[in-house]
Structure 1
Amino acid sequence: MIDVHSHIIPGIDDGARTMEMALDMARQTVDAGVTHLVCTPHMHWGTFDNTKPVIKQGFDELVNEVDKAGIKLALSWAGEIRINEMVPIWFKEDKLPYLGTLDSKQVLLLEMPHSNMPAGLDQLFRWLRNAGVQPLVPHPERNRDIWKQPEKIQWLRNQGCLLQVTAGAFTGRFGDHVQRIAESMLENNQIDLVASDTHDTKRRPNEMGDAYKRVTALHSAEKAEQLFVQMPRKIVMSE
């Protein structure tokens, strides 16, 4: 499996706090059946003011330690960008790190707040797509506006967004309500890929293996391969 969303680079966001924790996360990721992990620390203006050079430095240190520890895990890096008014400026200044490309567009992991769906999303999504950027929205199943109005999931798809559901949503880690939304999205063919969004080994572990089994049981092995392997590979291996 290829996991496109993780917070494993230590000390730069709310994920791994130490290199030791990051190595434990890498081992857990391998045990979950993941062969390639994309490191996507938060770029959240005013909270985690990460930049491409900061992420690259942390990534290089992580790769070195993973290699020294003999952990067989391919790594690459991008970022999880919180939606804000700076996104178009960051694009123009080449400050946005991308997961890869899909259909000639650069794929950007673009996070909404958990509490709501901000006004003006349609204009931002349209602007990005016109600029050659494909928005990939992570964990819509955990957004409170979507809890109130599940039809907004299809609205996001109608805006041209790809949607990534968290593996833990299928295992019940975020509660029954989130699990039901994830399962409904699966039934309605509204998921483009699944990723772990792992932050540590206990509270937010890598549950890709268990989620793969759950999707297989709920739908089919072919659908699990599509969401956990084929679509992530198509994006990430373009790089």
Structure 2
Amino acid sequence: MIDIHCHVLPGIDDGAKDLQESIALINLSVEQGITRIVATPHIHIGIYDNNLKIINDAANIVRDELKAQGMNIELSVAAEVRICPEIILFAQQGLLPFIGDYQEKKVLLLELPSSHIPAGADKLIDWLLNFDIIPMIAHPERNRELQRYPERIKVFQQRGCLFQLTAASLLGQFGELPQLTSERWLKEKLYTIVGSDCHSIKRRPPKLLEARNVIAELIDEEYAQQLVHDFPNLISKRLFS
């Protein structure tokens, strides 16, 4: 399996608090059967002001420790970017970390607020697409407006956005509504990938294998494999070449 949404870099967002927890989370990922990880720390203006240098520096510390411990897993980096007007400037300046490529466009892991769809989101999506960037909407099932009005996902779907399901949503760890919403969209085959979105050993450990097994039972084995391996590999393979 390949995990292209997780928060395993130490001390730069609300994920792993230190190197010890980073390695512990990655160990759990290996035990799950994950062979490649794309670490995606938050970029959220004024809260997590991460950039490419901060992210790469943190990743190099983790890589050195993985090598020292002889751990057999590949680590690359991108970011989970909160939707905001500044994304346009970041894109123009080449400052956005992408999780890979799809249909000759860069793929940006884009996070909505948990409460609503911001005004102008459709126009920002259009601008990104015209700039050869495909947004992959992170865990849309956790957005409360989309939980109440799931048909509004079509604003993004009809534009060609991709969608990432968070494993814990499907497993009911964020409550009933995210779980029911994710089940509905799985049945519609809306999602492109499943990510662990793991943050910590105690609160939010990686549960990608458990989610994969639920999807295989709920839908079928082929779609489960596409979500945890085939599509993540297709999108992120440039990061590991």
Tell me which stretches of 4 or more aligned residues in structure 1 moved more than 6 Å.
Answer: none
Gaps in structure 1 of 5+ consecutive residues = none
> Do 1:125 and 1:160's aligned partners in 2 also have CA atoms closer than 8 Å?
no
Provide, for residues 72-102 of structure 1, a one-character-per-residue CA deviation record: whole Å limited to 9, x for no partner. 1111000111111100000111110111111
Specify the alignment match of 1:202 in structure 2: 202
Provide, for residues 103-126 of structure 1, a one-character-per-residue CA deviation record: whole Å limited to 9, x for no partner. 100000011111111011111111
Residues of 2 paired with 1:55 and 1:209: CA distance? 26
Q: What is the 5 A alignment of 1:100-115?
A: 100-115=100-115
Residues of 1 paired with 2:106 and 2:118: CA distance? 23
Q: Secondary structure at the match of 1:238?
A: helix
> Do 1:52 and 1:95's aligned partners in 2 also have CA atoms closer than 8 Å?
yes
Task: Give 1:171's aligned amino acid.
Answer: L
Specify the alignment match of 2:78 in structure 1: 78
Residues of 2 paired with 1:228 and 1:173: CA distance? 19
Residues of 2 paired with 1:54 and 1:192: CA distance? 28
Please, which moves more after superposition, 121-130 or 66-75? 66-75
Q: What is the 5 A alignment of 1:17-32?
A: 17-32=17-32
Q: CA deviation at 1:32?
A: 1.3
Q: What is the 5 A alignment of 1:19-58?
A: 19-58=19-58
Specify the alignment match of 1:220 in structure 2: 220
Q: Secondary structure at the match of 2:214?
A: helix
Percent identity over the alignment is: 37
Q: Secondary structure at the match of 1:228?
A: helix
Specify the alignment match of 1:186 in structure 2: 186
Q: CA deviation at 1:154?
A: 2.6
Q: CA deviation at 1:62?
A: 0.8
Q: CA deviation at 1:238?
A: 2.9
Task: Give 1:236's aligned amino acid.
Answer: S
Q: Secondary structure at the match of 1:49?
A: coil
Q: What is the 5 A alignment of 1:17-166?
A: 17-166=17-166
Q: CA deviation at 1:155?
A: 2.5
Residues of 2 paired with 1:121 and 1:214: CA distance? 32
Give the aligned length.
239
> Do 1:154 and 1:190's aligned partners in 2 also have CA atoms closer than 8 Å?
no
Residues of 2 paired with 1:69 and 1:200: CA distance? 20
Q: Secondary structure at the match of 2:150?
A: coil
> Do 2:116 and 2:143's aligned partners in 1 also have CA atoms closer than 8 Å?
yes
- RMSD of aligned C-alpha atoms? 0.9
Normalization by structure 2: what TM-score? 0.97
Residues of 2 paired with 1:161 and 1:43: CA distance? 20
Residues of 2 paired with 1:24 and 1:201: CA distance? 7
> Do 1:26 and 1:71's aligned partners in 2 also have CA atoms closer than 8 Å?
no
Specify the alignment match of 1:9 in structure 2: 9
Normalization by structure 1: what TM-score? 0.98
> Do 2:9 and 2:41's aligned partners in 1 also have CA atoms closer than 8 Å?
yes
Task: Give 1:62's aligned amino acid.
Answer: V
Residues of 1 paired with 2:116 and 2:163: CA distance? 16
Q: Secondary structure at the match of 1:37?
A: strand
Gaps in structure 2 of 5+ consecutive residues = none
Residues of 2 paired with 1:169 and 1:42: CA distance? 19
Q: Secondary structure at the match of 1:10?
A: coil
